[in-house]
Structure 1
Amino acid sequence: MIGPIHPGEHLAEFLEEYRITQYRLAKAIHVPPRRINEIVQGRRGITADTALRLARFFGTSAEYWMRLQDKHELEAARARGGREIEREIRPLASGRHVTG
């Protein structure tokens, strides 16, 4: 089974497409180069602060980067314990909607 795609893989694609080094990106968005490297290597997630910086630099939205991170985390959680959670937790009675 293939694991969830880390947002760092998407960032690596942006770097390749625009022919930008990790170091240049880090300097341009005012973060330590190690942060960019760890994201690209899949060892660090994208925080809201980093998402804002990447969005400004690449002309995307911060939500784009946060959705990538959220999707990765949710898929990873499902892979780790989704079935166990389904066994352990009984859904609220159907027909009732919970809000808030």
Structure 2
Amino acid sequence: MKAKEEYLLEDGLVGDPNGVDQNSEGYKRLKQAIAERYSSYTESEKLNIKLDGIRFAMLDYLENESSNIIPPGTFLKRCLDVVMVNQKTFANYIDWDTGNLTKLLNGQRKINADVAMILEATFPVSASIWLRLEDKNELVRARQEKTRDYHQYSLKKLQQQVVKA
């Protein structure tokens, strides 16, 4: 399933632009004020703001009940783009084969604890967030596949079994 990137907008903003009247004078003034303030930041501060935006998008995705799956690699691609590091350089940096990194970026390989800790050390995103992305996607897939009737289970039924035994 192709990931819907509703949280990562092409201009680097996080959120849904349809929720704001972008033609209003108030919005235009706010946008101008933000641009002026942003231009006063150092390159390092700008980089941190962009990476924080990606982290907030990850957290927003984790909290959203949507059935859309966004592989963690999608967020990692954005991080690499922001820091202007290509896939080959990053793969070499973390002692990985480029093919394995490509699989991770395309959602064909999962992030494990070791990779999550490498990403935590490299980007301002905790290892637990990277792992939670995988967990959420796994749960969404399981709910979509519905290979089992989970409604048949309940604490009440379990307690009834204990009483019978």
Q: Which band: TM-score by shorter chain?
A: 0.7 to 0.9
Please point out which of 118, 125, 150 is paired with 1:86. 150
**1:9-41: CA deviation from partner (whole Å, max 9, x where unpaired):** 111111122211111111112222222100111
Please point out which of 79, 82, 96 is paired with 1:17. 82
**C-alpha root-mean-square deviation of aligned residues, in Å?**
2.3
Q: Provide the rounded CA distance (Å) in 1 between the counterparts of 2:111 and 2:126.
A: 13
Q: Provide the rounded CA distance (Å) in 1 between the counterparts of 2:141 and 2:70.
A: 9
Which gives a bigger RCO, structure 1 or 2 (Cα 8 Å, sep 6+)?
Answer: 1
What stretches of structure 1 of length at least 5 have no aligned partner?
Answer: none
Is the 1:29–1:54 contact (alpha carbons within 8 Å) kept by the matching residues of 2? Answer: no
Query: Alpha-carbon deviation of 1:90?
Result: 2.7
Q: Which residue of structure 2 lines up, in the alignment, with residue 37 of structure 1?
A: 102
Normalising by structure 2, report the TM-score: 0.50
Normalising by structure 1, report the TM-score: 0.78
Larger gyration radius, structure 1 or structure 2 = 2
What stretches of structure 2 of length at least 5 have no aligned partner?
Answer: 2-66, 160-165
Query: Alpha-carbon deviation of 1:59?
Result: 3.2
Give the fraction of aligned pairs with identical amino acids, expressed as a percent: 31
Query: Alpha-carbon deviation of 1:72?
Result: 1.1
Q: Provide the rounded CA distance (Å) in 1 between the counterparts of 2:121 and 2:100.
A: 17
Q: Sort the Cα spacing of 1:59 and 1:90 in 2 relative to 1 into closer, same or farther, 3 A.
A: closer
Is the 1:29–1:57 contact (alpha carbons within 8 Å) kept by the matching residues of 2? Answer: no
